[in-house]
Structure 1
Amino acid sequence: MFPFLDDEIFENLDIPGPTKQEIRVISISKMNIFPGCKTLEIGTGTGSVSAELDRLGCYVISIDKNKYIEKISHFNNVEYIQAHSAFMSYRNSIFDNVFIGGTENLEDSIKLAHQTLKYGGKIVINIFTLETLSKIQELVSSIFHNFNVLEVIIIKGKNIKNHTMFLAQNPIYIAYAVKS
């Protein structure tokens, strides 16, 4: 696999995020990725996940309720839409993957994912708080009837004088399930 984009590309946008490079790699590895696959992204943020999926040859519909979605870079195979997941107009579309990067409407977003995923399709959710993890575990388990989660902690070394200091980033949970 080719190198993923550097985080710096997405950092000066006054937008929450970006999903860090290492987290993008792991999150995308949990999806069904193939050239031309269709992915719905809910909670676009800086667009870093959409950008990587575009580079992998996927077609992405990327939605976010905030107006800043107009400011992010646009890629060839990504359609950006300012919308709330509960009112998503693509309810009749079928997707290979749904990625949830951040949303205040977990239940609506997870129900939308289930409605629009093909059988065998995958939902992948990045989680930043313990409270959200608990809610997602309950919702995904009841709707998808399966639930997997992993915790990722990234620690990077930084040279300080003649030593390497380890700097921890916030832990992230990545939940995923398959529509069966």
Structure 2
Amino acid sequence: MLEDMDFIKSCDVPGPTKEAIRAIILYKSEVSSTDKVIDCGCGTGGITCEFSQRAQEVISIDTNPEAIDITQKNLKKFGLGDNITLINDNGANALKDIDNIDIAIIGGSGRELENILDIIDTKLNSNGRIIITAILVDTKIEAINKLKQLNYNPKIMEVNISNGRVLDRGVMMISENPIAIITAKKR
């Protein structure tokens, strides 16, 4: 796992997704070396970098050109990127030209989550996996309802990682990146 402190960051681009969250996402994805992965809303590229080390191909999408630039810089910093395609566009537009998806990770949807899930559903291979990370309660509800409508059996896990900081009088736990991870497999 790549360490959080090693990533290039920006105030204008979310991320990277915290290391412990990336580890759970990798585990839940059941990624293999033959998988084609979509990272929709890649931010600084934390998830892109992790999956690029494990999957055959990763296509990362973000509407923010700075996010694409920082993701590219992080890939270069870690010596990754031979199997990565970066697309500066909204998820729905970019996904229209992508087929045979094994794993779709949605970390940002620009208020188009339902549309993005409709498109992914038509392009996801049998036994394909969808992983949605959500902070807003509304996004969690929207994701679960849409996945159920598409005939998936979604599962949700609320994750709150806390790291300790040693003080003179004890250890203070500091919460980082509280997030829901919603997973579903194509039947």
TM-score, normalising length: structure 2: 0.88
Q: Residue 174 of structure 1 corresponds to which residue in structure 2?
A: 181
> Mean alpha-carbon deviation: is it higher for 121-130 or for 32-41?
32-41
Unaligned runs of 5+ in 1: none
Q: Which amino acid aligns with 1:106?
A: L
Distance 1:168 1:58 in 2: 34
Show the counterpart of 2:14. 16
Which ranges of structure 2 fall in alignment gaps of 5 or more residues? 76-80
Task: Assess, with a 3 A threshold, how the Cα gap between structure 1 residues 77 and 11 changes in structure 2: closer, same or farther.
Answer: same
Match of 2:78 in 1: none
List structure 1 segments (4+ residues) > 4 angstroms apart after TM superposition: none
Aligned to 2:69: 70
Tell me how far apart the structure 1 counterparts of residues 44 and 132 of structure 2 sit (CA, whole Å). 16
Q: Distance in 2 between matches of 1:95 and 1:59?
A: 10
Give 1:153 shift.
Answer: 1.1
Name the SS of the counterpart of 2:181 in structure 1: strand
Offset of 1:89 from its aligned partner?
Answer: 5.4
Q: State the aligned residue count.
A: 177
CA separation of 1:119 and 1:91: change in aligned 2, threshold 3 A: farther
Most deviating of 123-132 and 55-64:
55-64
On the 8 A contact 2:42/2:107 being kept in 1, the answer is yes
TM-score, reference length from structure 1: 0.91
Distance change (3 Å), C-alpha of 1:9 and 1:79? same
User: Are residue 133 (structure 1) and residue 130 (structure 2) matched?
Assistant: no
CA shift at 1:139, angstroms? 0.8
Checking the alignment, whether the CA contact within 8 Å between 1:16 and 1:45 is kept in structure 2 is: yes
The farther-off stretch of 149-158 and 7-16 is 7-16
Post-superposition offset of 1:20: 0.5
Deviation at 1:168, TM superposition (A): 1.6
Equivalent residue for 1:48, pick from 26, 46, 49: 46
The match for 2:109 among 92, 103, 112 is 103
Which one is further off, 162-171 or 20-29? 162-171
Match of 1:33 in 2: 31
